[in-house]
Amino acid sequence: MARLIDWPQGLPSNFREPLSGPRVINAGQTQTIGGFIQTTSAAFGLWRWRFGFPDIIRGQLFRRYRGWITALHGGANATRVPFCDWDGLSRAEMGVAAGATDWKTGQPWSNVEAWSNGQNWGASPPMVAVAGSAAKDGTIVQLGSAFWGQSLGYGDLIGFFPFHLGMYMVTEVVEPGLYRIWPPLRRGISTDDFATLRPQLAMRLESEDGASAARDAAFGVNLSVTLVEVLDYDARDYFTD
């Protein structure tokens, strides 16, 4: 059985590009006698991204990088891709009152003690409860009123949890808290689920040429991977930890 591999810890991506719009299934064109062209496509498609990495990677981190792309075996295995939107909501838009320092350093336990390694809990965007069920392949989702649940707009990226592999972009605000999304839901959601601003995808290498690991005498050079989404149900059927 194929494997689902974690993104290497500490591996930073400093460039990413959505490719092919992303890929659309059942697209086509028709042309009239008068020369008018009508383009049609279904709403279904797969995310396809190219990720770039800084040319400062060396040592242990470069070993982890080359081990990761080797383990993906040209697309035979998949990897979890935690997605942080660099243009995402500000702390104020999330409904978070924490200052920049608190957000960066995190929070201790309720007894004001840190973990045994001296680190606090990491800060992360608040989650929002799902306010209405939606079936797999649905394109309308309803979120609760807490925090950012009713303040999303065009282009915002969300995901769901627990146990949900998928990332969705808001393409229409039907009303506050009720959104049309793309792509369609990879897995049904219920009022027991939560929405998150930190979605997670399962992705595989596009091909055997989908990754580069060039290196000069000092650092990795022009490192990049091109990854294609693996649908939630395929990840569950064919990939294992």
CB atoms inside a 10 Å sphere around CB 35: 6
CATH class of domain segment(s) 84-103+124-198:
mainly beta
Q: Could you tell me the pTM of the whole model?
A: 0.84
- Domain(s) labelled CATH 3.30.200 in the chain stretch across 1-30+39-83+200-241
152, 171 Cβ separation under 8 angstroms:
no
Strand-pair category, 23-24 with 78-82: unpaired
Does the CA dihedral 171-173-174-179 come out positive or negative? Answer: positive
DSSP secondary structure letter of residue 119: P
Which two three-digit tokens encode residue 11? 């591996």
* pLDDT tens sequence for the chain (241 residues): 689 999 999 999 999 999 864 445 555 566 666 666 655 455 558 899 999 999 888 999 999 999 999 999 999 999 999 999 999 998 889 888 777 777 677 778 878 788 888 887 777 889 999 999 999 999 999 999 999 999 999 999 999 999 999 999 999 999 999 999 999 999 999 999 999 999 999 999 998 889 998 899 999 999 999 999 999 989 988 887 6
Cα distance between residue 98 and residue 55, in whole Å? 33
Q: What is the pLDDT of residue 196?
A: 97
Burial class (CB in 10 A: 0-12, 13-18, 19+), 202: buried
- Domain(s) labelled CATH 2.40.30 in the chain stretch across 84-103+124-198
Q: Name every residue whose Cβ is closer than 8 Å to that of residue 184 and which is 6 or more positions away in sequence.
A: 43, 44, 136, 137, 138, 139
CATH of domain 1-30+39-83+200-241: 3.30.200
